[in-house]
Structure 1
Amino acid sequence: MDRVLSRRNSFSDQSHKVFTRGTFDYLENERGQNLFCKYWHLDDPTIEPKALVFISHGFSEHLGLYEHVGRTLAQNNILAFGHDHVGHGRSEGIRAYVESVDEYVNDLMDHCKIAKREYGNVPLFLLGHSMGGMVVLRAGLLYPGFFRGIVFQGPLIIPGPQLGPIDFRLSWWKTIPVGVVLRLMDWVDPEMILGGVAMNLITRDEDMKKMLKDDGLRWEGGCKVRLLRAFVNCLYDNLAQLRNLTTPFLTLHGDHDSLCNVLGSRLMIQESRSGDKSIIEFPGAVHNLYIEIREVREIALKRTCEWILQRSLK
C-alpha cells in the first residue's frame, strides 16, 4: 500500500469507517458512533515505523492529554495512534457510560485491525492507563497472539482502596454484596454518579494538576453506576483469566497509587503465563506516571519506549 499515507492524519480503510470531518479524523464504530482519532506519525513519512502503539486512555480522560506521550513515541520512530473512548473527549456517546467494557474493546480492535492492514509487517503494541489498562488486558486475553506486547501504566486490575463501604478487591465472594448494591442503585438511576477524584490522587505535579483542571474535555464527575457495574464485571472476568495472559508485557505502577491498586500489577506478574513479563514500581508515585513529577514521568516514558523498541526487533 502506498506509504504516502503517512503524510495524512489517519489510516486509510476500504470499509470507509475512518473519515475526516473538518480538520478532525473519526472512526465509526459498529454501533454507529463516531470516535475522535489521533495519530502521531513520524516526521519523515518515507521511513517505516519500528512499531505501532495503540494508546488506551483512562476514565474521564481523552487522547489530547497524551500529546507528550505520542510525540515521545514518534521521536523514537514509533507510530502512536488511538481514539477517545466512546463517551469521552470528542467522541460521541453518552458521557462516561457503556453497558459493557467490551464496547471499548471492540472499538479498539476495529482500529487496530485497520492499522494492521496498513502496516502489516510492523509489530503492534498496546499501551493502557488505568481504565485503559483494564481494556488492553481484556484485548490481550480475548485476542492472544494479535499484539507483540502490552505496556500497562497504573492499570485497573483491582481497585485501589475501598470505595466507601464497598471493597471488592481480590475476594471473589465480595461480588455478591457488591453486585446487589450496584443493581439496586442501577434500578434507581443507571446514570447516578458516585464520588469523584481529587487531583492529588492523579499527580503530585502542580502544573499537571492545573492542566487537568483547565481541560474542558475531561469528564469531571465520578463514575456512573452502570459504568461501575460494567467495570466490576470486567474486572472479575479478567482476574479469572489472568493465567491465560501469554502476551509479553511491562507494567509500570506508582506504589502510592490509591486509585488502581499496585497489587493488581503484582498479581499479573504472579498469575500470568507470559514468558516475558516485568514490573517497575515507582516509590512515592501516585496514579498517572506520565503526568507525575518530572523525574517520574521522564523515567516512565523512557522505560516505555525502550521496552517497545527492544521487542519490536524480535
Structure 2
Amino acid sequence: MHVNDQPQTANFIAEDNGLNVFYRNWKSSSTPKAIVVIAHGFNSHSGYFQWTAQQLTAQNFEVYAIDFPGRGNSDGERYYIADYDAFVADLDKLVDIAQTAYPTLPTFLLGHSAGGVLSAIYTLSYQQKLNGFICESFAFQVPAPDFAVAVLKGLSHIFPHAHVLKLKNEDFSRNQSVVDFMNNDPLIAHEVQPTKTVEQLALADERLKAEMPTIKLPLLIVHGTQDKATKPSGSQYFYDNASSEDKTIKFYEGHYHDLLNDLDKEIVMNDILDWLNNRSK
C-alpha cells in the first residue's frame, strides 16, 4: 500500500480559529462527469483512499478527500472531536470547494466508518447538495455495551481528553501489507480515541436514530460480514429506516472493516463504480 502513488494536489481549508484542515484532490483522467467527496473514519486519513481515487478518476470522477481536524495532515488536537457539528461544517466547506470548481456536476459523498456517521449527519441538513451517498462500514451504534457508552459519555465531561477507545489495525484488513502499513504510519501512530470523541459519536448516533427517516437521497450501503470494528446490523438499520426510494445494501461475506483496502477490494469497487455510473448519466 502506498499513499503517494497517484497524481493529486494537497490543499488546506483555513478555519476561523486559525487551524488548517488538509484535503486532497485527485483530477479526473478526462472531462469529469461527477464529483466524489470522501470522509475517512478512525485509524485513517485521506491517504488511505489513493487506490480508490485511482479507480474513480480512471472513470472520469473528480475526487476530493478530507483529513478531519486532529487527523492526518490537519491541525488540531490529535483524535479529538469537541463538537461533531464543526466536523460536518468542514465537510460542507470541502463540498462547496468542489462544487465551486465544477458547478454543473452531480456530487456524491462517500463516508467510511465514523466518517459515514459524520456524512450521514451531513445529509440531514445538506442532502439538497448531493446526488447520492455511499455509506461504507457504518459506525452506527459501535460495538460497545450500552452501559459502557453511558459511562464514557459521563466521563467526557470530567476527563474529556482521556484516551479510552483503541481500534485494532488488524481488524481493518485481511491484507497483511495494509496492516503493516497502518502499523508504521506516523499519521495514525498510537491512535486512541478520547472520551469526548466517543461521546460526540454517540450523540451523533442518537440524532441519526431520531432523524434517519428524513434521509431521502439515493443510498448505497456496503459492509463486510466479518467487520469487528463496527456492526453490520448498523448498516441494515440505516437501510431499513432511511426513506430513500433509491437505496441499495450489499454485504460482503468474510470482508473486514476497510472494504476498499481489504482483500477482494475490486469486487466492492466495481459495485461502487456501477452504482455511481448509473447515477451520473
Per the TM superposition, whether the score is higher than 0.5 is: yes
Q: Is 1:29 aligned with 2:15? A: yes
Q: 1:301 aligned to 258, 269, 274, which one?
A: 269
The alpha-carbon deviation at position 30 of structure 1 amounts to 3.9
Aligned sequence identity (%): 25
Q: Provide the residue aligned with 2:24 in structure 1.
A: 38
Aligned residues of 1:50 and 1:309 also touching (Cα < 8 A): no
| Structure 1 residues 87 and 253, CA gap change in structure 2 (3 angstroms) | same
Aligned to 1:62: 45
- CA shift, 1:187, in A, is 4.1
Match of 1:106 among 89, 96, 104: 89
Q: Secondary structure at the match of 1:190?
A: coil
TM-score by length of 1: 0.83
**2:183–2:189 Cα contact (<8 Å) kept:** no
1:132-281 equivalence runs, <5 A? 132-160=115-143, 162=144, 167-168=145-146, 178-179=149-150, 181-281=151-251
How far is 1:104 from its partner?
1.1
Q: Distance in 1 between matches of 2:11 and 2:192?
A: 28
Cα distance in structure 2, aligned partners of 1:190 and 1:251: 32
SS at match of 1:235: helix
Q: How far did residue 59 of structure 1 move?
A: 1.4
Structure 1's unaligned 5+ residue stretches are 1-7, 11-23, 169-173
Q: Does 1:81 align with 2:64?
A: yes
* CA deviation map 1:109-132 (0-9, x unaligned): 011112212211100000010011
The number of equivalent residue pairs is 275
Counterparts of 1:249 and 1:127 in 2: how far apart (Å)? 10
Structure 1 match to 2:4: none
CA separation of 1:211/1:9 partners in 2, compared to 1, >3 Å: closer, same or farther?
A: closer
Contact between 1:60 and 1:96, CA under 8 Å: does it hold in 2?
Answer: no
Using the alignment, how far apart are the partners of 1:201 and 1:105 within structure 2?
26
Q: Partner letter of residue 271 of structure 2?
A: R
Q: 1:292 maps to what in 2?
A: 262
Please provide the CA RMSD for this pair. Answer: 1.7
**Post-superposition CA distance 1:40-98 (Å, at most 9, x none):** 10234xx2x11101010111311111111111110010011122111101100111112
Taking the aligned partners of 1:72 and 1:144, their CA distance within structure 2 comes to 25
Could you list the runs of 4 or more consecutive aligned residues of structure 1 that deviate by over 4 angstroms after TM superposition? none
Unaligned residue ranges in structure 2 (runs of 5+): 1-6
Give 1 or 2 for the bigger CA radius of gyration. 1
Q: 1:219 to 1:242 in 2, by over 3 A?
A: farther
C-alpha distance in 2, partners of 1:65/1:178?
28
State the TM-score, normalizing by the size of structure 2: 0.93
TM-aligned CA distance change 1:38 to 1:302, over 3 Å: same
Contact 1:95 1:219 in 2 (8 A): no
